[in-house]
Structure 1
């Protein structure tokens, strides 16, 4: 499985200046190649490289291999845009976002991340340094730091490209690591996980990971954003950007803690993990205006991603099941009715009288659907 390891670079002022110049030159070259690709409808790598190779070397001061990386960066960006359009991430073809995306070439920020392969970047693990190509020549002996676990993964499994990133005035390398996957075991049962806004995750075991602290933090951040937006100064804009990144890191940290605990319990008890398939939920539900911001900032997708990759890395079975009526269906008698859930917190079946916390009942329904789905997944194919 593919994982990434982020290490922090500690360049000297001279090295930092060279890295900045390199990043800007590569992104100017990528923007030029993007304009050519858009104007001539060249979305394949070989065709675009043949068209712009000489221009990128002559006009932007790039060597042969950085030119190849810049072209691939453009081709990958258009492939990602095409996938986003097909999946509906930019709305219907009549929407303003969709029309803008297909009507203008992709533009790369001056300090957007730039990929480097092993010809442009080499690692000296013993010295904890890297050597990287720049427009000012090869820069050697750039120090890097990371945690012991990250360093071990880097040394053992690093393979492929590494992205040079500048964020908040600091330099990072994001390295791709190909970690072998353990064999997925046969689960003795399943842990159903119901994701929500008030309760970020509730398992079928009754474990509740509340989101009140995160919600309070987000409300406090929203108040600070309002104050800064009213100032409307350049300093306020910079502070808004810093606060947005800080809030995002906080939500990511919370999701990491929750997913790590759930995967640990599943691995210890020999069970699998099942979650609801919530794809497209923002398009399916209708909300009041005051609820839209809460749903848009709800990090449920990231929590699902964390659960999936942590389970995969631990060899824990992972399934996504149908999310329909999991909070309205009685797990004992199967009766499904909206009135079964009288309010957000409570469930009471109108037929058999089963009652309990609504989120736990939803987690139990997810578990039951995972049991049925796993039988179908593992059933041997019938012979014709």
Structure 2
């Protein structure tokens, strides 16, 4: 038996032979059982770290909209469940050959963010550029709490990172509130913008973004930084005001008339050359499909929970030669690019202000309630 003293908050780590590890203070996780039931803090006194795995102490986690949908029963989820998949933390201990997304060794003390998905790397989808749709995919904050992988969600003091996770180091000087959403909303926004750029050059493009949540606001920053002229459409005047601070040229009500008025007279003939729908609202999906210019691209990102069917004119899509893409999650390179962007521009855009309040981990139910109210773009939990 060996005893290691971690540099992270003076953890005491006891290796009881092999990869069996006991940690003091004892890690705990907030466990969700069913809609309406309060979360329960559960202790996880030991774990087994396999090849390529690591244990990370959570510095800050943020509540994503999908956490709210699950907690409120708006979509099915296995139970018991540790929710949470947006977080930043520090490596406490590693298994053999644990590595970052770029292939370099992962070290104790590294400050990191990580992907929401765990991919095998060997199936047909992983080999052909779709690791986020791996045949044996598992996701942090989405899987049933299981023996051997109890610490599998971000609403905990620690998270057990599996091999196949994209782990990306982050700078010490960047605020946790900026970095925590990187592994979900920020990286997804990067993937969505890449899908646009595959069809429409971003420099000088007119891009309509529907939805002023984290993904929509991040898209304003990313796209304006890449040279696009961005129009954000959202019914909330507070979110529209935020969009202007994130690089949008105009921020309007989500109606065809308002979008047309935000374009120049010449541009109104066709409409925006690209549209990214980031809200999931059926009306916004309809707007996205009707607003795009001939030869344009529509990228759907926000529809990640059951909603109403959206009327679709196949003839209009064919005659206007639209490209329609769905984006769900992302690849490792998108997370790396997201971190690079946040570190490069954290002083240019008010990302830190998007986390409007941080509550203690024991107040997770209250945090989810605040997040559901829409009062803040993100709500944080720590401790």
Give TM class, smaller chain.
Answer: under 0.3
More helix by share: 1
TM-score, length basis structure 2: 0.24
Structure 1 or 2, whichever has the larger Rg, is: 1
Q: TM-score, normalised by structure 1?
A: 0.24
Could you say which structure has the higher strand fraction? Answer: 2
